[in-house]
Amino acid sequence: QVTSWLKEIFGNQPIPQYEVNAQTIDILYELVEYSEARDRDVSLLIEDMEQKAAEYEADANYLEGLLTESLGLSPSSLSSEGTAHLSTLVNSAMTLETKDTSLASFFCAINDMSSELYATESKNKEMELELTNIKKRLTAALALEKRLEEDLKKTKEHIEVEKAKTESRSQNLKFLKDKSEDFKIRIKAAEEQLAATGLDQSLTHQSLVSMSE
């Protein structure tokens, strides 16, 4: 089978020499199968194209017959202007996807496209209005965000100032507490010292204040 295929490929030309072994035979056999499969595919494609060409030719002959019977004209007898008009008519029918080239079909297709165009334009207007509203809301949101950022910045600055004041007051309070404790200790020591010297308790400041009252 490989030898027959090589002879078919090279025809009258001599087959190049190659080493005959299991590996080369396997490779050549795979090429044989691939070539035969490709030939079958090409044959089927050619057959399909020939069938379509015959169908198109039959349709063209049928349409030409209708044109000849209806108007007594054939495409070959039309002037260049008539051919151009006929092509425009066909292209319009294909674009509008009408079932035929009658005025009723054209009017129906045009009405359908007009309705679709109106619906599309209405939808576009709704989307534009929605987009405008979104832009307004976005602008307002951005302005609010900026204002909030400024307020947050001011609040942070105010907190820093109050924090500094609180720390200063805390330090002053601690200083006063320490001073108060120191004074208490010194007063107690002075009182103990005065008591040791035999000071009459009636002469103390508290006693004198009470006596004065």
Residue with tokens 């002469």: 203
Mean model confidence pLDDT for the chain: 84
> Band of the pLDDT at 75, cuts 50, 70, 90?
low
pLDDT of residue 153: 93
pTM assigned to the model: 0.34
Q: What residues have CB less than 8 Å from 199, skipping those under 6 apart? A: none
Both ends of the chain: CA-CA distance in Å?
A: 142
- Whether residue 16 is predicted with pLDDT greater than 90 in this model: the reply is no
> Band of the pLDDT at 135, cuts 50, 70, 90?
very high
Q: In angstroms, rounded to a whole number, what is the distance separating the alpha carbons of residues 106 and 104?
A: 5
Q: 167 or 57: which carries more pLDDT confidence?
A: 167
pLDDT tens readout for residues 152-206: 999 999 999 999 999 999 899 999 999 999 988 988 888 788 777 776 667 777 7
Q: 100 or 8: which carries more pLDDT confidence?
A: 8
pLDDT of residue 87: 81
Q: In angstroms, rounded to a whole number, what is the distance separating the alpha carbons of residues 180 and 172?
A: 12
Domain ranges within the chain, ordered by starting residue: 1-74, 159-211
